[in-house]
Structure 1
Amino acid sequence: MADNDTPIASEFMAKNPPETLEPTTIPPLWGSMAPGGYRTPPYTLGWRLTPPQLRACLDPERARTTIPIDYETRCITPRWREFGYGKNLCGSMPRVSTMPAKDGVRGYDLIVYFSSNASKEKLEAVRGPKLQEMIAAAVHTLNLPDDLAPDLKWHAHIRRSTTKRN
Structure 2
Amino acid sequence: MADTNMPIYCDLPVMANYPPETLDPTTIPPLWGSMAPGGYRTPPYTLGWRLTPPQLQACLDPERARTSIPIDYESRCITPRWREFGYGKNLCGSMPRVSTMPAKDDIWEYDLIVYFSSNASKEILEAVRGPKLQEMIVAAVHTLNLPDDLASDLKWHAHLRRSKTKLN
Q: TM-score range by the shorter chain?
A: 0.7 to 0.9
Partner of 1:76: 78
Residue 156 of structure 1 corresponds to: 158
Give me the CA root mean square deviation.
Answer: 1.6
Matched, 1:97 2:99: yes
Partner SS state of residue 35, structure 1: coil
Candidates 131, 144, 147, aligned match of 1:145: 147
Q: C-alpha deviations, 1:25-71, integer Å up to 9, x for none?
A: 00000000011221100000000000000000000001123211111
Deviation at 1:104, TM superposition (A): 2.9
Does residue 22 of structure 2 align to residue 20 of structure 1? yes
Does the aligned pair in 2 maintain the 1:80–1:93 contact within 8 Å? yes
- 2:27 is matched by which residue type in structure 1? T
Other structure's SS at 2:28 match: coil
Shift of 1:114: 0.0
* Structure 1 stretches of at least 4 aligned residues deviating more than 6 Å after TM superposition: none
Whole-angstrom distance in 2 between the partners of 1:154 and 1:104: 23
Q: Does 1:61 align with 2:63?
A: yes
| Higher RCO (CA < 8 A, seq sep 6+) | 2
| TM-score, with length taken from structure 2 | 0.86
Aligned-residue offset at 1:23? 0.1
Aligned residues: 151
Post-superposition CA distance 1:95-137 (Å, at most 9, x none): 0000000113311000000000000011000000000000000
2:66 maps to amino acid: R
Residue 42 of structure 2, aligned match among 40, 54, 59: 40
Partner SS, residue 98 of structure 1: strand
* SS of equivalent residue, structure 2 residue 149: coil
**Deviation string for 1:125-152 (max 9, x for gaps)?**
0000000000000000000011110000
- Does the 8 Å contact 1:14/1:34 carry over to 2? no
Q: Secondary structure of the residue that 1:46 maps to in structure 2?
A: strand
- The structure with the largest alpha-carbon Rg is 2
Partners of 2:163 and 2:117 in 1: CA distance: 26
